[in-house]
């Protein structure tokens, strides 16, 4: 996977994605990351890339010219059309499913705005996808682009050590992850659940699935509607619901 990030703060992207798993993935060559400074495409003698909004109002707007030329330079380098994703709270909300879809691409271009946004005309001309990372407002598109790149990259083969781990973690099967324990066996008087010490793999697997179901019911019941449960697991969920109803003196 080749990422290109168009930004006024390339060092933010390089720093943020330069260490840990993302740093290793780049050293290995499993992914590549190139930050392009939009300011380098300014034709203004002061290197300005923003100006006052037509019609008045607060803040500054990024001018279309530098953004357009930066997009063209990246397209030239890639040699064919690529998706250009504009990070904006007005976009479609990013989720694991979108990450899975984007992970199939050879190249992804992220366009990060600042100030009050980017001149609409260059967005119309160049952007293929408008994406938000959630319903809250940030100061710029860099953190959202980094969130997306991190999430997509762990789905790229070879990025994670253990090929399985991308699937087993949260959201696989629409269930939350089961609780994890490591040494010591007892901490502050709290023991590791006995089943995990038993070495009985089938029992451990069953316990973990049940914990996932229980945790999802408690913390993200909305996810359960899309979860793929076996007949036995559905019975377990029904049992949890009955217990809960009983605790609350409810009818079911
Ligand atoms: Cl993609 N950009 C900004 N500025 N704020 C956001 C966002 C994006 N997603 C959520 N909030």
Tens digit of each residue's pLDDT (9 = 90 or more) over 7-63: 999 999 999 999 999 999 999 999 999 999 999 999 999 999 999 999 999 999 999
Q: Please work out whether the CB of residue 93 comes within 6 Å of at least one atom of ligand 1.
A: no
Residue 158 covered by a domain: no
pLDDT value of position 162: 74
Could you give the C-alpha distances from 169 to 115, 198, 218, in angstroms and in order? Answer: 36, 23, 18
Note whether 149 and 180 are same-domain residues.
no
pLDDT value of position 171: 72
Note whether 102 and 211 are same-domain residues.
no
Name the pLDDT band for 169 (thresholds 50, 70, 90). Answer: low
Name the pLDDT band for 163 (thresholds 50, 70, 90). Answer: low
Note whether 25 and 144 are same-domain residues.
yes
Q: Please work out whether the CB of residue 132 comes within 6 Å of at least one atom of ligand 1.
A: yes
Average pLDDT estimate for 77-98: 96
Note whether 93 and 26 are same-domain residues.
yes
Rounded to the nearest whole angstrom, what is the distance from the C-alpha of residue 252 to the centroid of ligand 1? 42
Rounded to the nearest whole angstrom, what is the distance from the C-alpha of residue 239 to the centroid of ligand 1? 41
Q: Please work out whether the CB of residue 88 comes within 6 Å of at least one atom of ligand 1.
A: yes
Residue 168 covered by a domain: no
Note whether 133 and 191 are same-domain residues.
no
Which residues 6+ apart lie within 8 Å of 177 measured at CB? 168, 169, 170, 212, 215
Q: Which of 110, 141, 145, 147 to mutate to test the pocket of ligand 1 (most atoms within 8 A of CB)?
A: 141
The domain tally of the chain equals 2
Which residues 6+ apart lie within 8 Å of 87 measured at CB? 110, 111, 112, 113, 131, 132, 133, 141, 142, 144, 145, 148
Which residue, judged by its Cα, is nearest atom 3 of ligand 1?
138
Residue 166 scores a pLDDT above 90: no
User: Which CATH number does the domain housing residue 50 bear?
Assistant: 3.40.1280.10
Name the pLDDT band for 241 (thresholds 50, 70, 90). Answer: very high
Note whether 9 and 117 are same-domain residues.
yes
Rounded to the nearest whole angstrom, what is the distance from the C-alpha of residue 34 to the centroid of ligand 1? 21
Residue 163 covered by a domain: no
Note whether 136 and 199 are same-domain residues.
no
Average pLDDT estimate for 140-168: 89
Which atom of ligand 1 is the closest one to the Cα of 139?
Answer: 4
Average pLDDT estimate for 191-201: 98
Note whether 28 and 122 are same-domain residues.
yes
Domain hosting residue 237, numbered range: 173-247
User: Which CATH number does the domain housing residue 178 bear?
Assistant: 1.10.1270.20
Residue 85 covered by a domain: yes
- Percent of the chain's residues with pLDDT above 90: 92
Chain mean pLDDT for the chain: 95
Cα angle value 218/151/227 (rounded, 5°) = 35
On the 0-12 / 13-18 / 19+ scale of CB atoms within 10 A, 13 is buried
Residue 165 covered by a domain: no
Rounded to the nearest whole angstrom, what is the distance from the C-alpha of residue 86 to the centroid of ligand 1? 10
pLDDT value of position 167: 63
Contact, 94 vs 103, CB < 8 A?
A: no
pLDDT value of position 115: 78
Rounded to the nearest whole angstrom, what is the distance from the C-alpha of residue 137 to the centroid of ligand 1? 5
Average pLDDT estimate for 164-192: 87
Which atom of ligand 1 is the closest one to the Cα of 134?
Answer: 10
Q: What is the pTM of this model?
A: 0.94
Note whether 192 and 233 are same-domain residues.
yes
Which atom of ligand 1 is the closest one to the Cα of 141?
Answer: 2
Note whether 125 and 58 are same-domain residues.
yes
Average pLDDT estimate for 60-84: 97
Note whether 191 and 131 are same-domain residues.
no
Q: Please work out whether the CB of residue 135 comes within 6 Å of at least one atom of ligand 1.
A: no
Q: Please work out whether the CB of residue 115 comes within 6 Å of at least one atom of ligand 1.
A: no
Which atom of ligand 1 is the closest one to the Cα of 136?
Answer: 11
Note whether 125 and 14 are same-domain residues.
yes
Residue 136 covered by a domain: yes
- Percent of the chain's residues with pLDDT above 70: 96
Token couple for 187:
């901490």
CA distance 47 to 222: 49
Per-residue pLDDT of 109-123, as tens digits, reads: 999 998 789 999 999
């Amino acid at each position: 996977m080749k990422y290109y990030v168009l930004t006024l703060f390339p060092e933010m992207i390089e720093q943020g994605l330069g260490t840990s798993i993302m740093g290793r993935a780049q050293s290995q060559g499993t992914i590549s990351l190139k930050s392009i400074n939009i300011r380098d495409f300014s034709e203004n003698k002061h290197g300005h890339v923003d100006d006052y909004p037509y019609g008045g109002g607060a803040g500054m707007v990024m001018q279309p010219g530098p953004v357009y030329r930066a997009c063209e330079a990246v397209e030239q380098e890639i040699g064919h059309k690529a998706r250009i994703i504009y990070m904006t709270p007005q976009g479609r909300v990013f989720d694991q499913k979108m990450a899975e879809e984007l992970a199939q691409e050879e190249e992804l271009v992220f366009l990060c705005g600042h100030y009050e946004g980017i001149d609409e005309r260059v967005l119309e001309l160049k952007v293929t996808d408008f994406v938000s990372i959630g319903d809250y407002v940030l100061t710029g598109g860099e953190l959202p682009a980094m969130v997306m790149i991190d999430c997509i990259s762990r789905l790229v083969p070879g990025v994670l050590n253990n090929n399985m781990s991308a699937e087993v973690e949260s959201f696989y099967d629409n269930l939350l992850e089961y609780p994890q324990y490591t040494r010591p066996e007892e901490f502050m008087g709290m023991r590791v659940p006995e089943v995990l010490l038993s070495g009985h793999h089938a029992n451990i697997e069953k316990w973990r699935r049940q914990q996932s179901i229980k945790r999802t019911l408690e913390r993200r019941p909305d996810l359960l509607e899309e979860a793929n449960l076996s007949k036995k697991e559905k019975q377990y969920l029904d049992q949890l619901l009955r217990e809960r109803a009983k605790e609350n003196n409810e009818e079911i």
